[in-house]
A and B are shown apart, each in its own frame.
Chain A
Amino acid sequence: MKKINSLQLTSMVIMVIISATFGKGFYTLVKSSGVDAWIGVIISAVIGFLLIFLFLYIFNYEPDLSLPEKNKKLFGKTFGTIINYLIAIIIFITSVSLFYDLIGFISSQFLSETPILFIGLMFVFVIIYINVKGIEVISRTAFILLIISLISFLIGGIGLLNNFELLNIKPFLEFGIQPPIKGSIYILMLNIMPTILFLIVPKNTLVDNKKTNTYLTFGYIISMILIFLTVILIIGNLGIDLTKIYLYPEYIALKRINIFNFLDRIENIIVIQWIFCLIINISLSVYFMTNTIKKNNNKLIVYIITLLILLASNVVFKNTTLYNAYVYNIAIYFKYALLFIIILISIKIKIDRMKKSKEN
């Protein structure tokens, strides 16, 4: 059944990629690359094409099937199921950290006296609702929220240009190319790797599936441009010393927005784009996990997974120090595991195709 179109799918991909830039993504990037973080973004954008092509390669294989079904077909029921659950666990862990980032931000900046469980519940209701309604609603929501996000990004970008100082991003490559490369690996793993989520949508369920590859490639380029602009504008505004000490430098930078001396103090409106991106990312993750466990969006599983994410984010990370240490030192290894699985799947597809062509 044709459900969504390529533009809606691309909207989801863009939001998934940029959602990790705020909070943990920015922290790891700046910690590893310092003032050369923007160079790290450029490097990751170039290398990231390889990942995107891998994803598209898997996406184009058996267009009637979603990723869990493809795995079962490729590796057999038992091994395929193990792979599927491994992917789902990694996605679950990622969702927990994203959710912690989301409620941590709101709790520290706006609702300091509200129990974080209540803050989390606000988003849980939204995520459950759109998941129960299915991928059509998630993708339509993503498309609408992306438009709002892009407008707020544009306003934020223009507002920050005023205080941008080129000196703040100097000197270039003081410690060589290694720090930006390290930063680029974090972007590849934390930002680009979660793109795997879109593979839950079988290609043939897209209305205009012939254009999908082009849309997704352009979507990826747009996402990387947005990440690049975010990084360069924040460091160019705050300078590296301030960027390093703030818990949420991207939010603090938005406080400097001043457009023609009459539009200021709009950071709380602009920052909503990040909240939107996180909601879409977590929603799509829940959809992925639900459909890995049982096909056709089982309501009960949606409830259980979403509530588990909420509870785990409250229990696992006791404080931001622990969370930051996890993101910088541990999270990346889960993504390496995901990368390994993706490469494994691609190789298997290649072998299968070669076998088929030989048979023919």
Chain B
Amino acid sequence: MMKNKILVLFVIFLFTGCYNYREINSLSITTAIGIDKKDDNYLLTIQVVNTQKVGSDTNSTGEQSKFITYETKGETIQEALRKIVLESPRRLYINHLQLIVIGEDLAKEGISQIFDFFMRNPEARKQSQIVVAKESKAEDVLKILTPLETISSKNIVDSISSDSKYLGVSENNTFEYQVKTYLNDRQDIVMSTVKVVGSVDKGENTESLKDVSSDAKVVLQGLAVFKKDKLVGYLTEDESMSANLVNKKVKDTLVNIECDKNKYITIELMKPKVDISPIQDKLQMKIEVNGNGNIKEIDCDYDLNDIKVIQEIEKKTEEKIKQNINSVLNKTINEYKTDIFGFADTIYKSNPKYYKTIKDEWYSKNLENLQIDTKVDFTLKGKGNIITVIPDEEN
């Protein structure tokens, strides 16, 4: 009996997690990591929650920031990440990582090592966002203070989430999804981008938050297009929305159609359904878009009670969506020579035998020769709270 009691005591002390325990106050909770390349070394900017400030009642304005950034350098990402102990007494904890920012220069060189590092690390959560710092360095993006969210990386992540719900310029995809796309050699990657607008030096100062308009901002931009693991170019906002539409990532977006010279109608396209299907044994693809929408704003004197006018708006909307899709198809296929829509993957999954015959020359010849037939079917469902157009008195 005594032996059992001693054994139980032994077990309690050894096996209840006391062996390699980590107290929360000995950890640096990392919310974002920015990765740049400088002199053949990785330059890491690590955004860590300032646990002294987060949760306190005082706003960050004029006070110490609610996050701290560390900069480290190393030949590999892991080395750079470990070197943080030279600056910080706390061990980095990346299980709550929300955002990975890649500097533009590094993105052009290739990002496969970033994929390898985070996928290999059991502590790193694969559901974080990954973005490219367009025409900027990742370090600058993570240093800018934001007024609405105390942690700037959360600001970016939430913006991407809102954008993907209401506009569709960014792609709300996880890090793991990007790796999955990268591993699939029949599709290329597109990634959301952010850009620093304004002065970085002013933007990293808490004083800047006192102004109504910030001196520096981090703004979401159009998508970055990759060929394998290298950045090859960017899409405009309109092109990004169309790319996301074809990739079935759009929940809600806006389409502007010109109804008169410099006058527009804004249509809200809601929950569009997109079907991409290959034609059997032919280098042909069919993209069908079906969607409903509402008029959100109108600048032309249209009689919205006339069914013919409604039909005309529908037709114009369809043409505009089709035009935008063809524009992004043309840019990604003919200019960037990439397959961001995974046409090769679609053919492979529906007809693997035919895919075998075309895969060797897919990027060199077949992708460019792919005939894509785009069909859009749009139905106007609502006009908002008013049924007519408020007339422009000057006209």
Contact = CB atoms under 8 A, between A and B. Distances in A.
**Real complex partners, A and B?**
yes
A293 to B, nearest CB: 24
Most chain A C-beta atoms within 10 Å of own C-beta, residue among B7, B14, B15, B119: B15
Interface residues of A, number: 22
Contacts of A122: 11, 15
Interface of A: 108-109, 111-114, 118, 121-122, 125, 167, 170-171, 174, 238-239, 241-242, 245, 252, 255-256
Nearest to A239: B180
B352 interface: yes
B179 A242 contact: yes
A298 B84 CA distance: 55
Nearest to B356: A174
B12 to A, nearest CB: 12
Contacts of B125: 255
Interface of B: 7, 11, 14-15, 19-20, 119, 122, 125-127, 176, 179-180, 183-184, 348-352
27 contacts: A108-B122, A111-B20, A112-B122, A114-B19, A114-B20, A118-B14, A118-B15, A118-B19, A122-B11, A122-B15, A125-B7, A167-B349, A170-B350, A171-B349, A171-B351, A171-B352, A174-B352, A239-B180, A239-B184, A241-B184, A242-B183, A245-B183, A252-B126, A255-B125, A255-B126, A255-B127, A256-B127
Contact of A242 (B15, B180, B351, B352): B180
Interface of A is mostly: helix
A252 B351 CA distance: 30
Contacts of A109: 122
A66 B31 CA distance: 59
Contacts, number: 45
B372 to A, nearest CB: 19
Given A114-B20, A118-B19, A238-B180, 9 more contacts: A121-B15, A122-B15, A171-B348, A171-B349, A241-B180, A241-B183, A242-B180, A245-B183, A256-B127
Main SS at interface, chain B: helix
**Top 6 nearest A-B pairs by Cβ distance?**
A113-B20, A241-B183, A170-B349, A174-B352, A171-B352, A122-B15
B21 to A, nearest CB: 10
A167 B352 CA distance: 13
A111 B19 contact: yes
Contacts of B349: 167, 170-171
